[in-house]
Structures are given as structure tokens and as C-alpha cells.
Amino acid sequence: MVGVAILGIAFGALLANKLRSGLTLLGVIFGVTSVMTIISAVEGMTGAIEENLKALGPSTFMVGKMMITTSHEEWREKMKRQPIEMDHYEAIIEQCRSCEEVSPRTYTMTDLKHGAEEIREVGVMGGKANFIKIIDMEIAQGRFHSAEDDFYKRQVAFIGDDIREEFFSGVDPLGKEFKIGNRKYTVIGVAKARGSTFGESEDKFVVIPLSVFHQQFGKRQRGLMLMVKSTSVGNIDYTMDEVRMILRSQRQVPYDEPDDFDMLTAESAMDLFNQLTRFFRMTLIGISSISLVVGGIVVMNIMMVSVTERTREIGIRKSLGARRSHILLQFLYEALLLTLSGGIVGIILGFIIARALVGMIDMDISPSALAIFSGLFISTGTGLIFGIYPAMKASRLDPVKALSYE
């Protein structure tokens, strides 16, 4: 009951000084908002990247001449490597016992045409019939190309939703023709829309049989990328070791030399992304925290002024029997009420601003427990840290001197 009464006194004191309380609240709101904006925006972007990487599946990994490079020197070294060829793919198919599915994939950018309409710089992929079994790509209409399509080099295409919308809006696209370069292709299937990431559409693509791709575009300099699906999630490390051994043997890599190819899982790609962005994220949060420190200093200064102005009040309350702990709690409650209220408003504003910023690059975020608890912890911590000194000073006042204070 005493605690509730003290809380009521603290709340009344804040209401009695609306302008002062409002200015203090504003400082806390700015600080928490800036920190929350960074946390929410980073979480949103990280979540979107994780969602994209999930398309690989937890039991799938990629093998290629060069997957990720972090420096120009590393890029130059990897460019000297021999590309992944079809004989490497065939060796894995024959020898890898823990591989459930293996599909080569190659890629290029080119223009598409349909009558007078044209779409520039579209990603065209070539793959085997089992390519769709390995990656998370849903079929909205029709079908994916078959092994027979690949064997007989049929010029058929599985298109993304952007291509359907641009070329065949309002009509059934199945059986319709369009050109990739100067060759005609027949639409046999349409992928389910996947949206966009960082402002780049994930539905602007075409997949054609690998044999047709090689016939039209030839072999690419970087060679093939192999998509490999293990028999189970728990078996993926063993499968990667098995594929590594087969490729090293095929490519005649000496036992004391490193791999002349890269292997990448969704988990390792996410770990690398977090490593590359960790310093950037911490720097942004550190810079935004400066405003929170400033807000905390404002809280402490305002509370010190409040203690000075209410010295006689403190003396009267002590003379009537109030303990040091009661005075301490009163001023600590005032600081916590200010910072917690500012924290709640700051969390809401920070999330709204972050959502607007991330929305500019066609991504979406939702409130996470981490962001909400971080905001509440930061605001409450600010109240405790910067409010404890004024509260302790108030509780230590001598009642006789406080009563005689002018």
C-alpha cells in the first residue's frame, strides 16, 4: 500500500509540472526512437535475407567456382579457378550416395520480347528437370520442364510472375510464345509470386532446360553451379564432405592444397552476412545511443532541479515520518514513469519509422520480442541510471535543514 501511495504522489508531482515533464519526456522519446529505428530496420533486413536463403532448404547446399568473395584480391584468385563442368556433375550423380538430388544451374541476363513489348535485363536460368525439387519455388500454373524437354532440347520456358504480368496480363499464358534473344519459347508454367527484396523483384526470371540454354548461350565463363540436396538435414555435413572428396578427385587437387571451388549453405551464407554487417550495425546503434544518453542527462538535470525546488516538501514529509526509502522511491518512480512512458512512445515511433524506411526497399517487418524488450529495457535502465543520483540526494536531506530551506 505504501508503494502504491508513493507511486500516486510521484505521478501527481509530474502532472503538476507538465511543461518540465513534457520536455524531459521528449528527450527520452527521441533517444529510444533512434535506437528502436535502427534495431527494427536491421531486424527487418536480416529477416528478409533469412527468408530468401530459406529457399535453399536446410538440407541443401550450393557448389560453384566462386560463391562469395570479401575482397578484390580474393576475387582475382578465385577467377583463376577452372569452372564446374558437366563431368563433375555426372561424377557426383554416380558416386555420391548421400545426395538425394543434384541439379546443375547456369545463369545469364538478357532481354525478352513479346510482340511490341520488351523486358530488358531478365535473369534467364538453365537447369535440369529436378531443379524445382531442390529450391523452394512453387508452381502457380502449368508445370516445370521435364527430363524429356531437356533431352529433346525443347524450347519451353517456366516464367516468373513479373513476366506473366508484363506479357500475358488478363490472358492464360500457357502455350503462349515469347522470345529470349532471337529464339521463340513456349510458356509451360508460371511460378507463384514471391515479392521483392531490397527493391529487386524475385519474380523477374525465366527457367529453361539446361541443354537449350547451352545451345543458345554456350558455356558461361563461371561454369555451372551445382545445387545439392542431402538425404536429411542431419546428414548435410557428411554429404558436403562426400561431394568435396569427389570434386577434389575429379579436379585433381593435391592433398595439401585447399579446395579450388566453393561450397555454401543457407546457414553459412547468413553467418557470413552477420559477420560483414556486425560492425556496421553496432556503429549505427552506438551513434543513435548518444541521443539516449543526452536524454538521460536531461532526466537527471530535471530531477536535480525538482529536488532543489521541493526541498521543503521533503523536509515536511520526513518530519511527518517518511523514511529515506520512501523519499528515494518517490523520486525514482518519477524518473521511471518519465522514461518508461517515453520508452513506450519511442518503441511505437521507432517501429513506424523503421517500417517506412524498410518499406522504401519493398520489405516488411513486424514487431519482434527482441525489439520491444530492448526498448523497454533501455528506457527503464535510463530511468534507473540517471534517476538514482537525484533520488539518493533527496533521500539524504536533513529534515531540519530542509524545513529551513528558502
DSSP string, 234-290: GGHHHHHHHHHHHHHHHTT--TTS--SSEEEEHHHHHHHHHHHHHHHHHHHHHHHHH
First to last CA, the chain: 32
Same domain, 123 and 93: yes
Residue range(s) defining the domain that contains residue 363: 2-52+272-403
Same domain, 117 and 254: yes
* Residue 75, domain member (yes or no): no
pLDDT for the residue 219: 75
pLDDT for the residue 150: 92
Same domain, 295 and 216: no
For residue 83, the Cα-to-chain-centroid distance in whole angstroms is: 31
* Residue 165, domain member (yes or no): yes
Same domain, 32 and 121: no
pLDDT for the residue 212: 93
Same domain, 88 and 40: no
| Angle at CA of residue 296, ends 295 and 301, nearest 5° | 100
* Residue 8, domain member (yes or no): yes
Domain end call among 232, 260, 288: 260
Same domain, 193 and 225: yes
The pLDDT averaged over each successive group of 10 residues in the chain (406 residues) is 61 65 72 72 65 64 80 80 88 90 89 90 90 83 92 93 90 92 92 73 88 86 80 83 91 86 74 66 68 72 72 72 74 75 77 69 59 69 70 68 58
* Residue 365, domain member (yes or no): yes
The size of the chain, in residues, is 406
Same domain, 247 and 308: no
pLDDT for the residue 60: 82
For residue 92, the Cα-to-chain-centroid distance in whole angstroms is: 34
pLDDT for the residue 255: 82
What are the tens digits of pLDDT across the range 337-385? 777 777 787 778 777 777 776 666 555 555 566 667 766 677 677 667 7
What CA–CA distance (Å, rounded) separates 312 from 29? Answer: 31
* Residue 70, domain member (yes or no): no
At a CB cut-off of 8 Å and minimum separation 6, what does 79 contact?
Answer: 66
What CA–CA distance (Å, rounded) separates 133 from 102? Answer: 10
pLDDT for the residue 22: 72
* Residue 69, domain member (yes or no): no
* Residue 119, domain member (yes or no): yes
Same domain, 209 and 181: yes
Domain end call among 239, 260, 281: 260
DSSP 312-368: HHHHHHHHTT--HHHHHHHHHHHHHHHHHHHHHHHHHHHHHHHHHHHHTTT------
Same domain, 221 and 147: yes
Same domain, 302 and 396: yes
* Residue 252, domain member (yes or no): yes
What CA–CA distance (Å, rounded) separates 313 from 231? Answer: 75
At a CB cut-off of 8 Å and minimum separation 6, what does 46 contact?
Answer: 273, 274
What CA–CA distance (Å, rounded) separates 286 from 290? Answer: 7
Q: Residue 193 gets which letter from DSSP?
A: P
What is the total count of domains within the chain? 2
Strands (E), 16-153: 60-64, 99-114, 117-127, 139-142
Domain end call among 260, 286, 318: 260
Pairing between strand 156-159 and 183-191?
A: parallel
Same domain, 186 and 109: yes
Helix (H, G, I), strand (E, B) or coil at 218: coil
- Long-range (24+ apart) CB contacts under 8 A made by 245-251 are 246/91, 246/92, 246/95, 246/96, 247/63, 247/88, 247/91, 247/92, 250/87, 250/88, 250/91, 251/82, 251/88
Same domain, 194 and 305: no
